[in-house]
Homo-oligomer: A and B are copies of this chain.
Amino acid sequence: MNFTPLGKRVLVKRVEEANTTSSGIIIPDNAKEKPSRGEIVAVSSEVSELKKGDEVIFGKYSGNEVTLDGDLYIVIDVDDIFGIIG
């Protein structure tokens, strides 16, 4: 799959969040509700803050879902990404 985002956009693959904390405690569903995690798959040439492979946190309802080769991704503006993990 080859997709080049335009503008200030990046392409993100949503990451399944673990249901347990590092200390093994199970997090109830509503505590995980608001933000989402994902991995950067492609970035626009106008985006310098992020690169392929970065794991990021973003608002759950930000961006637009796109299907490429049958897989679901999110195209999202870099301004809607809260930050980088790790």
Contacts and interface: CB of A to CB of B under 8 A. Distances in A.
B75 A82 contact: yes
Nearest to A56: B6
Contacts of A83: 3-6, 9, 11, 42, 44, 75
Contacts of A50: 6
Interface residues of A, number: 40
B32 A67 contact: yes
Contacts of A67: 27, 31-32, 35
Nearest to A84: B4
Given A7-B79, A27-B70, 5 more contacts: A22-B69, A25-B70, A35-B75, A57-B75, A59-B64
